[in-house]
Amino acid sequence: MPEPPVTNAEMQIPFMISARLRVFLVAIMVAANCVTANATEFFVSATAGSGGDGSRERPFTSIEQAQRAVRAWKKLPAPAGGVTIWIASGTYRVSQTLEWTAEDSGTAEAPIVWRAARDGEAFFAAGRQIDAKNFSKVTDEALLARMCEEARGNMWQLDLGKLGVQHAKRTPDLFEDGGGLLDLYCNGARQTISRWPNDAKATMARVLDRGDSKRAPGARGGTFVYREDRPARWREAAKADQLWLAGFWRVAWEWQTVRVSKLDLAAKSITLAQPVSGGIGSKYAGPEGAGTEPWIALNLLEEIDQPGEWSIDFATQTLFWWPPAPLENAEIAIADFDAPVVRLNGAAHLALRGLVIEGGLGNGIEITGGESCAVEGCTLRDLGRSGVVVTGGKAHQVLSCDLHTLGQSGILVGGGDRKTLTPARHVVDNNHLHDYGLAKKVYAPGIGVGFRDQPAPAVGCRITHNLIHDAPHAAVLYGGNDHLFEFNEIHDFLIESDDLGGFYSTFDWTSYGNVVRHNFIHHTPHALGVYLDDGDSGDLIEGNVSYRMGCGVGIGGGHDNIARNNLAIECGSGVRIDARGVSRGYDKNPTLLKILAAMNPTQPPWRDRFPTLVAISETLPPRPIGCAIERNVTIGAGKPSNLHGNAKELSVVTQRDNVALPIEDLGFADAAKLDFRMKASAAVFKKVPGFQRIPFEKIGLYINELRPVLPSHLAGTSKPCWGKP
């Protein structure tokens, strides 16, 4: 077959490329509408006809087509100005992970940008659409007899096995997340797995047997006496070995779901099939427990008692559901795809902008390795795990995104090298995170930065201007070194659990260089604003505002922590510090000492960056040496500084200029509306020498091109959201 004649455009393509590829590349050059020498554009539309060439007039129909075109474009000689791929409004169904690799990378001068033509209207949807015709009304008399009376005429069933749904199998005997079950959505709203009680928790009346303290073959689960008669309804589920309970069985920061091995209606007792860590019953009570340990029952046909609830019979692979709307008009989806919807693996200088990522059972976006990738102005919602997970790489950014209705965390970030203190330089800025931790109730934060090395150890990340609220447990968890947490707003977290701070780090003598500065933490009265727990060391906590919190700042036995210039308004106390390292033997604790040895602080660069840590590594002091509490102010609260413990053990702590003042001395703009901007003439600046004005107006979300509109107010408060700082 003769080769086509060479055109002027082809003259720019290296001769060694095959004729067929030259023709393809020329088509791309023409179709891409290179309107300037510095920009290239491709277009994608889910509703386009087949045979498109990626031009505005004839767009591609899929992301994969555009990806192939971009890769081909990159083979042209020195493409300048980068590439923008415009994704038209519509739904792009995802049945396998959309993956970009090093092959898809741009450069600093020529980035690759995948963006919605209209922000928030291009949907990468991983949910599996279910035709309402697959449902049938429940008519089996035995099943109807088990149901609540009000549900009997409203219950529908779906054969999941027939449809090949993967995540409808029996859950493990013990788990701490969703147990691998699917999620169900109707008209875009997440449906609720059945539970009892609906909006509260039952409590154990008495512990009969704590069970074994560790899991092992043949280990014994605990037994407790229940209070209400409701479990009598669950006898059929118990006989079928399909009864699971979830609870805070021992402490309020360990939520676990456990199968029931025995339901004894005569004794009103329940025996769990597996032991929980430490055994059931409060760790702070005697053998019979405290009588307040909370628990619920899950996934029971008998407890579907309101619209929107569902359960699965594992034996028959049948889903039972009380739909909240008529089925014939409903848009029904099942989250069954457990891989990430999007993965950037080793990519660089690539951005995703204005997209909606939804409907998966796994993570929304995973970024691994690579450099300078950005997730900008995206919405991540209705996901079984976390929104964005950044593992390794450097200088990645998550900017002005909205993340909500997530089974686990919002944004998790790790990267950098702790031994060399090489920073990752990741940035998480101006994001709105709420209603997460729906499946994993604890230690699934709104933002996590290297906490317990999840998703990886972290150094040198910047977390700024984020708004985080409405979560069962954590807002911000962090570990590692040299992070900056600034201008963030946190409220209404720790809704279901206890013993945490808005910013929380724990159990590391080497976590030096972190700065928690100019944040607003409020409306969580049983939490601390900032909590450095169990020996966490080397942090600067400065200029934060805590309002209606249990305590402003808590320091639990660590070294070289500085709490300075913080405000605690209507809190239990200002700054609290203790010497728990003495009573708990931190100088002999294997975990603390192992981390200390691994970082080797007597050698560069640690020796030069953190010289006070050298002496700590050599003497292993259990007392909180090097800590200082300075210029902290309480208003309508308890003491500005509280030292808990033996006076001699705490004599190494520096205290100065911590005061309680009347609210008038702070010169707030409008305290009744939670506007805590301070007037320059406020008396506090004279009464507390060196006290610095807190730039309250800069805290929280701000308006920019990616976030043109702010929430009109914060949930439960009248505080406005401020404009661009």
pLDDT of residue 349: 98
pLDDT category at 711 given cuts 50, 70, 90 is: confident
Q: Report which secondary-structure segment, H or E, holds 73.
A: helix 63-74
Domain boundaries, the chain: 10-125, 129-194+302-333, 196-298, 525-694
Distance (Å, whole) CA 720 – CA 67: 42
pLDDT of residue 714: 52
Q: What pTM was computed for the model? A: 0.94
The answer to whether residues 424 and 398 touch, using CB atoms and an 8 Å cutoff, is no
Name the percent of the chain lying above pLDDT 90. Answer: 90
CA dist 277 to 248, 280, 281, 306, 654, Å? Answer: 11, 8, 11, 34, 38
pLDDT of residue 38: 56
pLDDT in tens, 292-306: 999 999 999 999 999
Distance (Å, whole) CA 322 – CA 327: 10
Q: Report which secondary-structure segment, H or E, holds 463.
A: strand 462-464
pLDDT category at 315 given cuts 50, 70, 90 is: very high
The answer to whether residues 168 and 376 touch, using CB atoms and an 8 Å cutoff, is no
pLDDT category at 10 given cuts 50, 70, 90 is: very low
CA dist 113 to 86, 106, 315, 374, 416, Å? Answer: 8, 9, 47, 9, 25
Name the percent of the chain lying above pLDDT 70. Answer: 93
Which among 658, 660, 653, 656 is positioned nearest to 638, based on CA atoms? 660
Q: Which residues contact 259 (CB under 8 A, 6 or more apart)?
A: 171, 173, 174, 241, 243, 244, 272, 273, 274
